[in-house]
Amino acid sequence: MMSVMSNTQKLNRELARKINQEALRNPRSPYANKFVGIANGQVVVVADDPDELARRLRQAEPDPAKTFWVEASHNYDQVEYIWSLR
C-alpha cells in the first residue's frame, strides 16, 4: 500500500526546498552550509553538524513523522557516484 504524505510533511518538504534554494543562491544566508531542522512547517533548529541537529530536532518534536531536515547549500540535483567502500 502506498503511503500518502500528510499536510505537515508536505509543508516541511516545501520549506526545506525553499531554504536550500535560498542558501544555494546566497552564501550569506543564515542557513548556508548549515543543517536545518524543520518541525510542523517551521524552522526549529539551525546547527553546524548532524548530531546536534538530530538531538535538538528530537527535543523540539519527538514525532519523527512531523519533522524534516536539509543540509542547506547542498546540490540535491547533482548525482554523486560512490566507486568503492572501504
What is the residue-level pLDDT of the chain in tens, covering all 86 positions?
445 679 999 999 999 999 999 999 999 999 999 999 999 999 999 999 999 999 999 999 999 999 999 999 988 777 767 777 67
Grid cell locating 35: 543543517
* Nearest-angstrom CA–CA distance, 57 and 22: 21
* Nearest-angstrom CA–CA distance, 22 and 52: 22
Give the predicted TM-score (pTM) of the model. 0.83
Tell me the C-alpha to C-alpha distance, in Å, between residue 70 and each of 1, 2, 32, 47, 83: 27, 24, 11, 11, 25
